[in-house]
Amino acid sequence: MEVDKMDENDWKYHGEGNKSLVVSHVQLSRVLRLLKYPAEDSENPPQTAEQAFRQIQNIVDFSSNVMSRFLGQKFIHSGEVVKLPLEFVRQLSIKVQHQRPAWRCDKVMDIYSGCALCLPNLTSPALPQPTHTAPLCIEIKPKCGFLPSSKHVSKDIKTKVCRFCMHQHYKVASGKWKRRSLYCPLDLFSGNRQRMHFAIRHLIEEPQNNFKIFKGGQCVYSSKEGSDDSVDLNSLLHHLRPYLLHGNNRINGHVSNKAVLHDFIQVLVNALMGGGGVGADRRGEGRSFCEASAFNRERIRHGSQGLPSEGVLFRILQTQMLDTLDIEGLYPLYRRVEQYLHDFPKERSRLQIDGPYNEAFLEKLQKCPSEDDGSVDYAAAKVHQYRVAMTAKDCSIMVALVPRSEGEDDEGQRWLRDLISSRTPAFSYSVSILDLDPKPFESIPSQLRLDQKIVSCYLRTGGALPKSSLPPLQDIFTAAEREDCTLLFHPM
């Protein structure tokens, strides 16, 4: 990519989050991630070009030097900071403006610094495509996969119902989503294939911001925030069917809708479980079940297989569990650091509150004492551990799949076969983790307030929601529920 020959017509709007906007190249497997500012700051950017560069470099350093150590280098794409011609950035901003969702337009793209983060386009990966079929890419935001056991937890419900399930009630009550998702992260992180299958089924049924499917880089399945519209499963089946033509659940040579979805979920579970030997489940049964999960424990036909210790879910879960105190136990330590910085502001750099995210920062995390010695250094290290855990709780997993052609045998590639039998289809695949920005030190008070709102809302409603807030069962899922589960959950 030659920076001095940038043309805005080579790029298209890809998506955006709260802090950045992403554009993708129309031919190359590359994306640019640009910072955003509140619209009222559009004439006077809140930071200089040097500060913007440092902010993006911090994202790169945090990903490559810190998160990759916990999550595994093979899953991480940290990217690099690039300086772009200002005229290119201005023209690009004009070009993508009309494609942006209206509710995101309270912020504008940074057109002053010329700084961006260049990353591989994980929705259109550079995997071998022997069948010339566009790659499928599934984005999953798994969220927190364990229940807290900290002595600092003040409400017993937090040790029984997971944060995601409680948050669903709050989101519906506040109008952010019209319907509640029945997905529960503890089912996905359980390592039990039945529960994982069940979790992904509910992600498909009510995706919200936690599940998207891309085909050849284009998003073909997702939810729109605040929309009354249900997702279109028939449209999804139309996209999936060509990838899953070979099944053992045919009706007169035709693969049933249920078989297509079943096989797709199985392939996805296999990709998430890929990675070697089984790791020990250190959480214990009491912390691996959420009382709000719709999964019936009596349906489990086999004991928990556990997550492979080198697999993506195991690595994410272990990193999330750096949060040993819960936000309630962490907040007093945050206040200790905050008060210290108020008295000694120059110490902010020694404590690496804003980075740099280097070996020294990592060492503070890894060598933090297990017991509080009352020092500000202990408090700062626990806050840093919590920030890393929060990043892992908010990351996304990208699973890219490309069908393998008949008779192909390349030992250089990892192949996914349906573990139920040797039947095709088989896929080459890659698994990546993204959204690994450092969480700001100053965000901890707002996280505590949100935690209190979520818990109080759940306790106030008694965990009950109006029936209208439940996702409508799609015909294909209704049919699956009526039948024996041997197709939904095959014995291993």
The tens digit of pLDDT for each residue in 346-389 reads: 999 999 999 999 999 999 999 999 899 999 999 999 999 999 99
Answer whether residue 97 is part of any domain: yes
Provide the whole-model pTM: 0.88
Q: Are residues 46 and 171 in the same domain?
A: no
Q: Are residues 102 and 249 in the same domain?
A: no
The type of residue at 311 is G
Element holding 251 (H helix, E strand): strand 250-251
Answer whether residue 85 is part of any domain: yes
The type of residue at 247 is G
Mean pLDDT throughout 155-175?
Answer: 95
Q: Are residues 275 and 422 in the same domain?
A: yes
184 has pLDDT over 50? yes
Answer whether residue 127 is part of any domain: no
Answer whether residue 108 is part of any domain: yes
Task: Indicate the residue among 79, 96, 120 that finishes a domain.
Answer: 120
Q: Are residues 181 and 78 in the same domain?
A: no
Q: Are residues 80 and 147 in the same domain?
A: no
The closest alpha carbon to 88, from 111, 105, 104, belongs to 111
pLDDT tens by residue, 117-144: 999 999 987 655 555 778 899 999 999 9
289 has pLDDT over 80? yes
The closest alpha carbon to 395, from 426, 428, 436, belongs to 436
Mean of per-residue pLDDT scores for the chain: 85
267: left (phi over 0), alpha (psi -120 to 50) or beta: alpha
Residue 237 CB neighbours (<10 A): 17
Answer whether residue 113 is part of any domain: yes
Helix, strand and coil content of the chain, in percent to the nearest 5, comes to 40, 15, 40
Mean pLDDT throughout 147-157?
Answer: 95
Q: For residue 96, what pLDDT is reported? A: 94
pLDDT tens by residue, 403-437: 776 555 544 444 444 333 344 457 888 899 999 99
Q: Are residues 16 and 47 in the same domain?
A: yes
Q: Are residues 116 and 140 in the same domain?
A: no
Q: Are residues 100 and 155 in the same domain?
A: no
What's the total number of domains in the chain?
A: 2
309 has pLDDT over 60? yes
pLDDT tens by residue, 452-463: 999 999 999 877
Q: How far apart are CA 164 and CA 209, in angstroms?
A: 12
Task: Indicate the residue among 120, 146, 169 that finishes a domain.
Answer: 120
Helix (H, G, I), strand (E, B) or coil at 30: strand
Answer whether residue 270 is part of any domain: yes
Please state the φ and ψ torsions of residue 134, each to the nearest 5 degrees: -60, 135
Task: Indicate the residue among 62, 86, 120 that finishes a domain.
Answer: 120
Q: How confident is the model at residue 103 (pLDDT cuts 50, 70, 90)?
A: confident
Q: For residue 492, what pLDDT is reported? A: 26
What CATH number did the domain enclosing 103 receive? 3.30.200.110
- Would you call 198 exposed, middle or buried from its count of C-beta atoms within 10 A (0-12, 13-18, 19+)? buried
487 has pLDDT over 60? no
Q: Are residues 314 and 431 in the same domain?
A: yes
Q: How many residues belong to the chain? A: 492
Q: Are residues 306 and 421 in the same domain?
A: yes
Q: What is the DSSP letter of 176?
A: S
Helix (H, G, I), strand (E, B) or coil at 426: strand
Answer whether residue 217 is part of any domain: yes
476 has pLDDT over 90? no
Element holding 256 (H helix, E strand): none
The closest alpha carbon to 201, from 247, 273, 263, 135, belongs to 263
Q: Are residues 228 and 166 in the same domain?
A: yes
- According to DSSP, the residues that pair with 254 across neighbouring strands are 251
Mean pLDDT throughout 188-204?
Answer: 94
The closest alpha carbon to 110, from 57, 37, 44, 38, belongs to 37
Q: Which structural domain range is residue 215 located in? A: 136-320+392-482
Residue spans of alpha helices (H) in 344-375: 347-350, 359-366
Q: For residue 327, what pLDDT is reported? A: 98
Q: Are residues 169 and 263 in the same domain?
A: yes
Please state the φ and ψ torsions of residue 427, each to the nearest 5 degrees: -130, 145
Quick check: bond before 425 cis, omega within 30? Answer: yes
Answer whether residue 125 is part of any domain: no
Q: How confident is the model at residue 280 (pLDDT cuts 50, 70, 90)?
A: very low
Please tell me the least confidently modeled range out of 206-215, 229-238, 247-256, 314-323.
Answer: 247-256
For the chain, the C-alpha Rg in angstroms (whole number) is: 23
